[in-house]
Structure 1
């Protein structure tokens, strides 16, 4: 014999709402945890979770009185809520229908003069060819970007700045070597060897 399937959350919510509607009374959580398992088959351990979900969705009202919290839900409120929801949906439907009608008008207006014809098809074909050619030229142009006069000018400027910077550091190295020789009497060859300075180290031309 197969094991009886437990109630889903939505089924528990429905049954707990039925309990409120049938009893038409106010309850504390502990009372519901005793009544719901017997009358609606909702496990006492899940009553709190189901109840909180209904309170969060404004389907069950709650009020703290002293140290106790009471919960209730009457059919009249549920009915009014459904009516309000139905009214809201009807307003949205009317608004959507008006928007669709306006869009249909826009489409009709935009379609005028765009009916299929030999001339229109020829122009569309030409436009497609021109667009494709433009893309090819843009791709080709990108290959030669580094040969662009403005780009070359920019590269020369960057090169000059880089050379000036390199020469400034070269000057700093020579000054430091000179200071070490005068201060400590080191040989220039020893300084070069110690700091890995190549023999042909010099200014850039």
Structure 2
């Protein structure tokens, strides 16, 4: 079994051995020329990868040297213009502060601005609150009526004791 597995591995993975079925017999072969060509192709592929990697390394080294030469100096030149690092950093801080201020003012304006969707949303919220308020007033009236019937207390006395107005204001539709 071990020999069969080894031969199968050499056929499938390595490509060292070739096989062809002839009738009910399998014929295996391997030519020296075929093996050398495979090795040559692999070596050429590896050489090409090495060259590409070396060129990438050279480019990265040049960029690193350029960065080290020009990086973090107090004053530097780009094209015909010369700049001061400290001045540019201060300008950047001021611009960032201005952006923050303007974005907060924009948020305030957006919260104040009323469009159709916001108006509709607020209408729904007011109607919901109105419905809740009406339920609460109905419940208060029911409780006052319950205390009146259960303990024979006058509704005026109950309202006076708990600070409930004699009659709730009518809410008009919005």
If each structure's strand is expressed as a fraction of its own residues, which one has the higher value?
2
Q: Structure 1 length normalisation: TM-score?
A: 0.39
Q: Structure 2 length normalisation: TM-score?
A: 0.44
